[in-house]
Amino acid sequence: MEVILKKNVDKLGYKDEVVTVKAGYGRNFLIPQGYGLLATASALKAHTETMKQRSHKESKVLAEAEALAAKLSEVTLTIVTKAGENGKIFGSVNTVQISEVLKGLGFDIDRKSLKIKNEPIKEVGSYEVEANLHKGVKPTFKFEVVGE
Interval 81-107: pLDDT, tens:
888 888 888 888 888 888 998 888 888
Q: How confident is the model at residue 1 (pLDDT cuts 50, 70, 90)?
A: very high
CATH code, residues 68-147: 3.10.430.100
Tell me the average pLDDT across 117-139.
Answer: 85
3-state helix, strand, coil in the chain (%, to 5): 40, 30, 30
129 neighbors 117 (Cβ within 8 angstroms) = yes
Of the segments 24-38, 69-83, 100-114, which one has the largest average pLDDT value? 24-38
Fold of the domain spanning 2-60? Ribosomal Protein L9; domain 1 (3.40.5)
CA 1 to mean position of chain CA atoms: 34
Amino acid identity for residue 128 in this structure:
E
Locate the domains of the chain by residue range. Answer: 2-60, 68-147
* Phi–psi pair at 94, nearest 5 degrees: -130, -175
Tell me the average pLDDT across 44-53.
Answer: 92
Tell me the average pLDDT across 8-21.
Answer: 90
Number of other CB atoms surrounding residue 88 within 10 Å: 11
* Terminal alpha carbon distance of the chain: 67
Percent of the chain whose pLDDT exceeds 70: 100
